[in-house]
Amino acid sequence: MTEIGVGIIGGGYMGKAHAVAFAAVGAVFGTGLRPRLEMVAASTPESAERYRKDFGFARAANDWRDLVEDSRVEAVVIASPQTTHREIAEAAFALKKPVLCEKPLGASVEDSLAMVEAAETSGVANMVGFNYIRTPASQFARKLIAEGAIGDVTWFRGEHTEDFYADPDTPASWRTSGMPNGTMGDLAPHMINAALALIGPIASLIAEVETVHKTRPGGAVDNDDQAQMMCRFENGAMGHLFFSRIASGRKMGYAYEVTGTKGAIRFDQEDQNALWLYTMDEPEATRGFRKILTGPAHPDYLPFCQGPGHGTGYQDQIIIEARDFLRAIETGEPVWPTFRDGLDVNRIVAAALTSSQSKSWQTIYINAQV
């Protein structure tokens, strides 16, 4: 086993999740590389020191640059706002340090292009934090689809819906200012990533993006509340995606349905340990969707629990992500999703915004080079 010093920039919601994940991943998966929580940086020296004590880091940094440049920090995790991603990543790659960056990759396509170029020039491991697609159930769904268990895919419906802004009297905040913080910047990337992982590249789309509550207590809202898009995948399948932060009653509505010529699959993140499968080869009298509870037979479940149906949780997704990042560093082989995969998501978000403004179909050049 070899130690590797990890530095995390940001100690809030995702910073804590990554700190817990890197502290646990060695014990859960028996990784060859064993992370050492070396340093954490935050927006103020006081908060950085608090995160150091709370999460078990050796040191706190007053500035993210100090963390990136420190010789004992050998891998960097970016868990700060999107507008900071590019500068941090470019600095880390210049020093040949691997980077795990929270989604979305950059605050714009231009930022993401620059980050991909820096990553690929450096030749070191790079990965984007799309955690929800890593649940054992969704990994199994991806496997079933790839193996043809439901035949040729003809239709996909996906949503990422939550209700943290459903009440119009919820005050304005940083989340209601700037497009990177709106629904297309915050929630949409997760389900777009799922669509690409499950079905494949999107060839064209048309979208509507809107702000439903244009003012809130404390100020105007200048980003989007909800959006929808119709799309056509490169394999010919039709698709519809919906994203919302005002979907009353939805807490973690990351859900999808996949229809094929021989069956169908359904999944809902609010019941993340179950996958619903329908196959047409059953007798008519008993044919129907059946609920499959995840267990040791499904991808990445057994390291957490030996009991079928006991289930995994949100934090476990981040631990799986940490394992994948360490594997990329150790083997030198890219582990999906790389920065280039994150760029693909940014391109689709940008095309959807353009489509909404022009009210026209947009062609997606998903495999375009930097």
Write the DSSP string, 198-229. Answer: HT--EEEEEEEEE-S--EETTEE--S-SEEEE
What does the alpha-carbon distance between residue 115 and residue 106 come to, in Å, rounded to a whole number? 8
Eight-state DSSP code of residue 360: S
pLDDT at 33: 97
Residue type, 12: G
Position 333 pLDDT exceeds 70:
yes
What does the alpha-carbon distance between residue 294 and residue 278 come to, in Å, rounded to a whole number? 16
- Mean pLDDT confidence for 256-264: 98
Question: Is the Cβ–Cβ distance between 290 and 278 less than 8 Å?
Answer: yes
CA 189 to chain centre: 7
pLDDT at 366: 58
pLDDT at 370: 45
Q: pLDDT band for 365, please (50, 70, 90 cuts).
A: confident
What does the alpha-carbon distance between residue 89 and residue 91 come to, in Å, rounded to a whole number? 5
Eight-state DSSP code of residue 134: G
Model confidence pLDDT, tens digit, residues 124-182: 999 999 999 999 999 999 999 999 999 999 999 999 999 999 999 999 999 999 999 99
- Is the alpha carbon torsion for 105, 108, 109, 112 positive or negative? negative
Position 367 pLDDT exceeds 80:
no
Q: Rg for the chain (alpha carbons), in Å?
A: 21
pLDDT at 196: 98
Domains of the chain (ranges, CATH numbers): 2-131 (3.40.50.720), 133-309+345-358 (3.30.360.10)
- The stretches of 207-290 forming alpha helices (DSSP H) are none
Q: Give 150-176 as a DSSP string.
A: T-SEEEEEEEEE--TT-STTSPP-GGG
Eight-state DSSP code of residue 303: T
Question: Is the Cβ–Cβ distance between 330 and 26 less than 8 Å?
Answer: no
Model confidence pLDDT, tens digit, residues 100-116: 999 999 999 999 999 99
Which of 315, 339, 317, 335 lies closest to 325 in space, CA to CA? Answer: 335
Position 296 pLDDT exceeds 70:
yes
Model confidence pLDDT, tens digit, residues 19-59: 999 999 999 999 999 999 999 999 999 999 999 999 999 99
What does the alpha-carbon distance between residue 176 and residue 337 come to, in Å, rounded to a whole number? 28
What SS3 class is residue 318? helix
Model confidence pLDDT, tens digit, residues 180-200: 999 999 999 999 999 999 999
What SS3 class is residue 196? helix
Model confidence pLDDT, tens digit, residues 201-258: 999 999 999 999 999 999 999 999 999 999 999 999 999 999 999 999 999 999 999 9
- Mean pLDDT confidence for 296-312: 97
What SS3 class is residue 85? helix
What does the alpha-carbon distance between residue 68 and residue 74 come to, in Å, rounded to a whole number? 8
- Mean pLDDT confidence for 90-107: 97
Position 300 pLDDT exceeds 60:
yes
- Return the axis-axis angle of helices 136-146 and 188-198, rounded to nearest 10°: 40
Question: Is the Cβ–Cβ distance between 22 and 322 less than 8 Å?
Answer: yes
